[in-house]
A and B are shown apart, each in its own frame.
Chain A
Amino acid sequence: MSQAHMPTLTMASSRAFSLSLAALGIAAAFVAGRQSLVTNLERACTVGDTPYLDLCPPAQTPRQSATELKSEIAANPGDSRAYLRLAFAGGSATNAALLSAAARLAPSHPNVIAMQAAQALEGQDLPTAVGPLVSLVEHGYNDRAALVLARLIVSGRWQLLAEHLRPGTHWFKQVLAQMPNAQGSFAAALPLVVLGLDRGVFAPPELMPYVRQLKTSGAWGDAYSLWVALHKGASPILFNASFNHPFEEDGFDWELPSQQPIGRAGAIVARAADESRGSVLDIRFTGRPFAEPLIRQHLFLGPGRYRLQGDYKTAQLRIEQGLAWSLRCTASAVQAGKSAGLGDTANVWRPFEFVFSVPQDCGWVATLQLEAFAPLDATLGSRGRASFSALALQKLEH
């Protein structure tokens, strides 16, 4: 058994000896190489054969680590890593030449770009800083660069970023994501967002969630302006008036604010197909109490008189005083007007008209909504069915 192990032990000893020899060789080579690097550096500094690089130690005593880095650079003047390390090793004020050298060797290196941005920011040179920051974000190297850009936008310096907003770039979306961390609202980025929209950086659906965000934050004017911009720059004052399209609830389309599970709902509100009219608004009352409003739309209306027209029909509608359209101001939550009660029509389409006035102090938007004429009817619940079609809203001249 021990004999069987003898060749193995011999082989192991031989391998260890070989490894030791190799290690000694490497050590010797390292010492020799290091000496040659120092010599080369000294030679380079004496001869000045790398005039575009500030490698040579300044008269002041450089740190040992810097000396070694310079040795590496002397050995390989194209070693951008060594330049970067050296650039980071000293005070920032002395790094300009090193950074410049590194930038020539590796202009796309993220650390080179980060240093360029940092130096520009140190010098309060914001226009110069923006390019490297954008580059960092575009290539996914630095979330904090996105935060810096977001802060620039929040501080009102969005114009600095405008020239970098080009089709096919993605950095701006990451900057937008940092807006909350920059203590800023999305509204501050709106001019750039619109610029991005015009230049094809965004597709309109990508920005719809921001319309909702602006609405939620009470920035009605910004939300509506963006909504219009997302619809090719134009929108009727009553959107989707004929219920022809699925509702875009993030925006200024019809909203169903009180939807309940179908099994418990007092009213089921949806778009439906009608034989003669195409798409209509269809409301089925189940007998349970129903939440109000049944449907609503925020309208961007200035002061003045308006007329809402349309057709409706009801079948076996058991609401004592019928349904009604009403208008509420967002600024005061005051009801600015209410239509007459729309009662049972025995399943026949009939026209209706609702004229209302928007007061001066109504605020950014008013809300048009459908509800029970008498609030008690919603509490008691109802049965039957109601449909609305072909609505139109127009401002009256006088």
Chain B
Amino acid sequence: MKSRFMIGRCLWFAAALFLSANALAQTPAPAPGKVIGKVTRVEGLVTVSDTKGISRVALNDPVIDRTRYVTSSSGSVTLKMDQGCDIELKPNQALTVEDDRTCEALWALIGSFGAGRAAAPFLVGGSVILILGGGGGGGTPDTPVTPPGNGGQLPDISPQ
């Protein structure tokens, strides 16, 4: 009696599984585009867009025909194209990759955006001194003190 009940339950489960699989098979999946390369290096934020959406680029992602890569002001990416060349996008650049274009044509199509107002200059000059700690040289060991002499002064780290 118990085993017959179990068999019945198994049959119901199998039927449900079959129907679900059938339904899934009938759901139209978006046709993936043609793979024409691979992302071999990515630094910072880089996005790629297709006809409906935009996503963040990750290492080893496939490069799909007619997608557009855009780098942020600190992002860069290298696309290894199946036709045998590497396309490198530097910060603030964009490119729509197309299978029917040669590597030379793709390189020529790389567009650059202005940095806008994002990249403010780094204005630390040699005369700017920053002292670690808030007190004077005579502070107690329990309160931050200013080391005398050159101690605590930050050297110029501006990219000059």
Which A residues fall within an 8 A CB radius of B? 80-81, 84-85, 87-89, 91-92, 95, 109-111, 114-115, 117-119, 121-122, 124, 126, 136, 141-142, 144-145, 147-148, 151-152, 154-157, 182-185, 187-188, 190-191, 194, 214, 217-222, 224-226, 228-229, 233-237, 300, 302-303, 360, 363-364, 394-397
Q: Is the interface of B mostly helix, strand, loop or mixed?
A: loop
B40 lies within 8 A of chain A by Cβ = no
Which B residues fall within an 8 A CB radius of A? 43-47, 49-56, 58, 66, 68, 70-75, 92, 94, 96, 111, 113, 115-124, 130-134, 137, 139-142, 144-145, 147-155, 157-159
Q: Is the interface of A mostly helix, strand, loop or mixed?
A: helix
Cα A184 to Cα B117 in complex, Å, equals: 11
Looking across the interface, which residue of chain A has its beta carbon closest to that of B121? A183
Looking across the interface, which residue of chain A has its beta carbon closest to that of B95? A302
Cα A395 to Cα B33 in complex, Å, equals: 14
**A111 pairs with B145, CB closer than 8 A:** yes
For B148, the chain A residues whose CB sits under 8 A away are 88-89, 91-92
Q: Which of A141, A191, A303 contacts B74 (CB 8 A)?
A: A191
For B56, the chain A residues whose CB sits under 8 A away are 225, 228-229, 233-234
**Could you jot down 11 A-B contacts, CB within 8 Å?**
A80-B141, A92-B147, A111-B145, A115-B147, A122-B151, A144-B134, A218-B117, A225-B75, A233-B58, A302-B96, A303-B96
**A190 pairs with B72, CB closer than 8 A:** yes
Cα A187 to Cα B117 in complex, Å, equals: 10
**A221 pairs with B54, CB closer than 8 A:** no
**B157 pairs with A142, CB closer than 8 A:** no
Cα A84 to Cα B139 in complex, Å, equals: 10
Q: Which of A89, A117, A122, A360 contacts B150 (CB 8 A)?
A: A122
For A394, the chain B residues whose CB sits under 8 A away are 51-52
Cα A234 to Cα B56 in complex, Å, equals: 6
**A114 pairs with B147, CB closer than 8 A:** yes
Cα A214 to Cα B55 in complex, Å, equals: 19
Contact status of A225 and B130, CB under 8 A, knowing A109-B141, A214-B118? no
Smallest beta-carbon distance A256→chain B, Å: 23
B46, B145, B154, most chain A CB atoms within 10 A = B154
